[in-house]
A and B are shown apart, each in its own frame.
Chain A
Amino acid sequence: MSGTAARQPVRLLIAALGGEGGGVLVDWITRAATAEGLHATRTSIPGVAQRTGGTTYYVEVLERCEGDPPPVLGLNAAPGRVDVLLATELLEAARRAEAGFVTPDRTVAIVARRRAYTVAEKAEGGDGRLDDGALERARRGAAKTARIEDFEALAAGAGAPLNAVLLGALAASGALPVSPDRFRDAVRAGGKATEANLRGFEAGLSGGIAPSPVPEPAPVPADEFAFLPREAARLAAEGVKRLADHQDAAAAGRYLDTLRRFAALPGADAALLASLARHLALRMGFEDVIRVAQLKLREARRPRLAQEAKARPGDIVHVVEFMKPGPAEILSLLPPGPARALLGWVERRGWMDRSVRLNVSPTRPLGFLRLRLLAALRPWRPRTLRFHEERACRALARPRRAQPRPRSRRGARGRGDRAAGEGLWRHRCARPRRLGAHRRRDRRARARRPAAARDLRRRGAAGAPRRAEGPGGGCARPHPRRHHRPGRRAGGADRRRVTRWIGDGPGAE
């Protein structure tokens, strides 16, 4: 019995998302291990499908000796005592590592380099995705050896599911005293989709790396952008293309003129110009009903739709678009005078929330005709209210000094009234005479505030800078990307103030 004490089982932890086949993978492993003549035990904590359910599986495998009594193997993974971590996803691997299951003295980590985004990442208004590189580096640092590869591409190349590829990678790592043939037998014994699974297993075993796509070198911008630094010139070329498509060549010319004026200013550095080129193009190429109709009629869109429909020969495919323009969007197609009058009237009647339900099918004659008519309004666009408002906004950014606020587009996204930033811009810019209004109102509000609070604030401002209040600038969880988000720097208090400006509206004083 003294030999048993010295023997240690190989402990294997599998982290997967529900529905990815972790259970089948565990089944194969235990089957192969028992076929090899080892003691094996497995436990699983299943979860529901997709990102909502992290599932973990735990396997212990112990070498069998002559005359062994039935061994007692562990049912739960213990932190610091995991020899192999198999993970189908980077963040799941990170979670296991955070819980202490990945240690540099023993853990071999085999992780598929892929991400299934969490709801928090997806719901973020801008780019809330975690940095894959950071996740990967953290895993590599924590494990004894780590094999983090794009197993999903490998699986897709072999036409096989991911779990079979991971099984192959496990066999290749040699962490388990089980020969590849036993694994193959186990896969065959599973009896389902044997061919595909075996293909995946071989792909994982041989470790053939799918060639990573070589990033194309950025095209050298033409001479007409020579006045700009490289990055800005690349974006400006895109912007010119977009504006010519959005309106006409004259609009593209105006865009370039503006850029030229800024580039001539002292203190206009590469970052500023690149940012300006991007956001000016987005602002000038604003998305109104006309633009949406134009995009929906794109030629290039049809092959993509056909591919997504997965239609069989003989099937009929129709597309239904969901448009629901409200009064603000419809009336902003009129010239400024009538549009403002009508908008005021609609607002007084309290109809701003109403909208016209427009389910258009561009693959049917009537729907196509409607979209076509909308898109044909393009030459009319320079006369619309929306165009005038956008131009008024840009007029504010005339190059008087080289520190304009070219990041404004981030605030103005979404369509119609739903875009909070839009309301702000309309308020601030469409009536340039009233530019000081919010400042005056603010001053008045500050005067109304109790003196004690004012003093407190002043003292706070005089002391430490307010941004040093806590990590993450006030958000509950530390969020690695949030610190770098330029448009967000305002923090909670400032954003609340912005909403109040909008809520008050111009007539509320």
Chain B
Amino acid sequence: VQQRFGIDPEVCTGDHSCIRLNGCPSLTVKPSGDPLKDDPVVHANNDCVGCGLCGKVAHAAQLCPSFYRLDVIRNPTVWDRLRHRIGNAVLGWLGGAPIPAPPAAPVPRPAAPVPAPAE
């Protein structure tokens, strides 16, 4: 299971108390994209490693419901897949939908730039 955190731009009010409270370097701000909210919203960039500290703060300090955690199960076992399929069936019956799977054949990306370490 690989985890990372994210923030819903619709729910974020732009008060940035999460940044003040946990100071995670992967939390940054971006324009809200909502003409009614003129303050920038919080955004977790690619540096998020899913350490969960912000989530812990979210529990301890009643922080914010705009946070969410993505659990990506890599190389699921047969049992995982079976459970997922049954769960999705029930979900569909209830009117929900799972997170859409990526396209089956991923487009070949250009060679990823190797992060250059500082000297």
Contact = CB atoms under 8 A, between A and B. Distances in A.
Interface of A: 18-24, 26-27, 44, 46-47, 49-53, 55, 57, 116-117, 119, 121-129, 159-161, 163, 192-193, 195-197, 234-235, 238-239, 242, 278, 281-282, 287, 292, 295-299, 301-303, 305-306, 308-324, 326, 355, 357, 362-365, 368-369, 372, 413-416, 418
B72 interface: yes
B6 A305 contact: yes
Contacts of B64: 322, 414-415
Contacts of B65: 292, 296, 321-324, 415
B49 interface: no
Interface in B11-42: 11, 13-17, 19-20, 23, 25, 27-29, 34-40
Interface string B88-119: 00110011111111111010011111111111
Contacts of A372: 94-96
Interface string B66-100: 01111111111000110010010011001111111
Interface of B: 4, 6, 8, 10-11, 13-17, 19-20, 23, 25, 27-29, 34-40, 47, 55, 58-59, 62-65, 67-76, 80-81, 84, 87, 90-91, 94-104, 106, 109-119
Contact of B94 (A195, A315, A321, A369): A369
Contact of A125 (B15, B55, B90): B15
A184 B72 CA distance: 40
Contacts of A315: 72-76, 101
Contact of A317 (B47, B71, B111): B71
A22 B63 CA distance: 37
Given A159-B110, A302-B100, A309-B70, A235 B35 contact: yes
A24 B116 contact: yes
Nearest to A297: B96
A73 B84 CA distance: 66
Contact of A126 (B14, B20, B76, B106): B14
Contacts of A416: 62
A357 B116 CA distance: 42
B102 A311 contact: yes
A235 B13 contact: no
B36 A235 contact: yes
A22 B117 CA distance: 9
From B90, B96, B99, B100, residue with most partner A Cβ within 10 Å: B99
Given A125-B15, A306-B100, A320-B69, A19 B115 contact: yes
Given A125-B16, A295-B10, A314-B76, A55 B118 contact: yes
9 contacts: A24-B119, A27-B119, A121-B29, A125-B16, A282-B37, A312-B106, A314-B76, A317-B99, A320-B71
Contacts of A320: 68-71
A324 B62 contact: yes
Contacts of B80: 316
Contacts of B104: 313
A317 B76 CA distance: 10
B6 A308 contact: yes
B81 A316 contact: yes
Contact of B69 (A23, A196, A319): A319
From B35, B65, B67, B75, residue with most partner A Cβ within 10 Å: B65
Given A22-B119, A320-B68, 18 more contacts: A18-B118, A21-B116, A55-B118, A126-B15, A163-B116, A193-B111, A234-B35, A242-B36, A287-B13, A292-B65, A298-B10, A309-B99, A313-B101, A313-B106, A315-B76, A322-B67, A326-B62, A418-B62
B59 A324 contact: yes
B87 A122 contact: no
B91 to A, nearest CB: 5
Contacts of B6: 305, 308
A27 B65 CA distance: 46
A488 to B, nearest CB: 12
A121 B6 CA distance: 20
B102 A306 contact: yes
A355 B6 CA distance: 23
B9 to A, nearest CB: 9
A287 B84 CA distance: 32
A192 B72 contact: no
Contacts of A127: 14, 38-40
A115 to B, nearest CB: 10
A193 B37 contact: no
B113 A196 contact: yes
A46 B38 CA distance: 37
A44 B119 contact: yes
Given A195-B111, A306-B99, A311-B101, A316 B72 contact: yes
